[in-house]
Structure 1
Amino acid sequence: MTITEDAESAPRRAAPVKRGSLRKRAYDQLKQMILSGALSPGERLSEIRLSTALGVSRTPLREALMSLETEGLVIGKPNSGYIVVQLDIETVRELLVAREGLDGYAAELAARTATNADLDRLRGVMEQIEDLGRTRTRAPEHIARELELGLKVHEVIVAATGNRILCEMTTRIYEQLRTALWLEVLWIDLWDEAVAEHRAIVEAVIARDGPQASEAARRHVRGSIENISRIQNIQLHRRRAGGLLPLAGV
Structure 2
Amino acid sequence: MPRAAGSLADQAYDRFREGLRNGGLRPGQRVLELELAERLGMSRTPVREAIRRMQAEGLIAHGPGGGLCVAQYDHAEVAELYGMREALEGTAARLAARQAGRPDILLLQALVTAEAALPAEAIAEHNRRFHRALHQAAHNRYLLRALAPIGDALLLLGPTTLAHPGRAAAAREEHARIVAAIAAGDAEAAEAAARSHIAAAHAARLAMAAEEPA
TM more than 0.5: yes
Instruction: Go from structure 1 to structure 2 and tell me whether the alpha carbon gap of 1:169 and 1:211 turns closer, same or farther (over 3 Å shift).
Output: same
Which of 159, 182, 191 is matched with 2:168 structurally?
Answer: 191
CA distance in 2, matches of 1:76, 1:54: 22
Q: Is the 2:86–2:198 Cα contact (8 Å) retained in structure 1?
A: yes
- Of 71, 95, 106, the residue aligned with 1:123 is 106
Within 5 A, what are the aligned runs for 1:201-220?
201-220=178-197
How far the C-alpha of 1:57 sits from its partner, in A, is 3.8
1:217 positional shift: 1.1
Per-residue CA deviation, residues 202-247 of structure 1 (Å, 9 max, x unaligned), is 111111223322221121011121022124225x41xx4xxxxxxx
| Mean CA deviation greater in 50-59 or 194-203 | 50-59
Which residue of the partner structure matches residue 44 of structure 1?
30
Which whole-Å deviations, capped at 9, do the CAs of 1:158-188 have from their partners, x for residues lacking one?
32xx5x66x1674266246433566335754
User: What residue is the counterpart of 2:94 in the other structure?
Assistant: 108
Contact 1:22 1:56 in 2 (8 A): no
TM-score if structure 2 supplies the norm length?
A: 0.69
- Once the two structures are TM-superposed, the CA of residue 64 in structure 1 deviates from its matched residue by 5.3
Q: Determine helix, strand or coil for the equivalent of 1:83.
A: strand
Identity, in percent, stands at: 25
CA distance change for structure 1 residues 73 and 191 in 2, over 3 Å: closer, same or farther?
A: farther
What secondary structure, in the 3-state scheme, does the structure 1 residue paired with 2:69 have?
strand
Q: 1:230 aligns with which of 186, 204, 207?
A: 207
How far apart are residue 121 of structure 1 and its match? 1.4
Q: Are the structure 2 counterparts of residues 169 and 24 from structure 1 closer, same or farther at C-alpha, using a change threshold of 3 Å?
A: closer
What is the aligned partner in structure 2 of residue 93 from structure 1?
A: 79
Gaps of 5+ in 1: 1-15, 241-250
Number of residue pairs matched? 209
Decide which structure has the larger Cα Rg and report it.
1
Question: Is residue 73–residue 85 contact of structure 1 (8 Å, CA) maintained in 2?
Answer: yes
Matches within 5 A, 1:92-171: 92-111=78-97, 113-115=98-100, 117=101, 119-128=102-111, 130-131=113-114, 133-138=116-121, 142=122, 145-159=125-139, 167=143, 170-171=146-147
**Offset at 1:72?**
4.9
